[in-house]
Amino acid sequence: MDFHHIGLATKNIDRSIKDYKLLGYLSNNEKIMDPIQNVELCFLEKPNSPIIELVSPLSELSPVFSILEKNGTIPYHTCFEVNDIELTIEALKRERFVQISKVVPAIAFNNRKICFLYGINTGLIELLEKK
């Protein structure tokens, strides 16, 4: 399992891009619409720093919408790349992680599989299957 990125929920993705650029992060300003997750995404990078995925809800039906209503802009998940998503999910469930979403293709990752789980000591994690 390899660390991949930190997901940050934001109401205004354009303002967040601008602010992270001030902090030295680079963005090609490419935003990705993901109707499966009901969000708009943008990835930011900075040498020797974690990748940041900005996530903004497309509607009130997005799961990120309620997170923002409760907390405002906030880091809300960490993502890990795994070799076999199904085996990893089963192993984490045995360790008391709770699967909170189905395995679905992720538009942002060329339709590689993702899944979200919750751990009482880790919070929300995203698994991203390697190619």
Three-state SS string across 44-98, please? Answer: EECCCCCEEEEEEECCCCCHHHHHHHHHCCEEEEEEEEECCHHHHHHHHHHCCCE
Q: Domain limits at 124? A: 2-129
Give the pTM: 0.92
pLDDT tens figures, 37-90: 899 999 999 999 999 999 999 999 998 999 999 999 999 999 999 999 999 999
Task: Look over the chain and give the mean of its residue pLDDT values, rounded to a whole number.
Answer: 95
Q: Per the structure, how many domains does the chain have?
A: 1
Assign residue 110 the CATH number of its domain.
Answer: 3.10.180.10
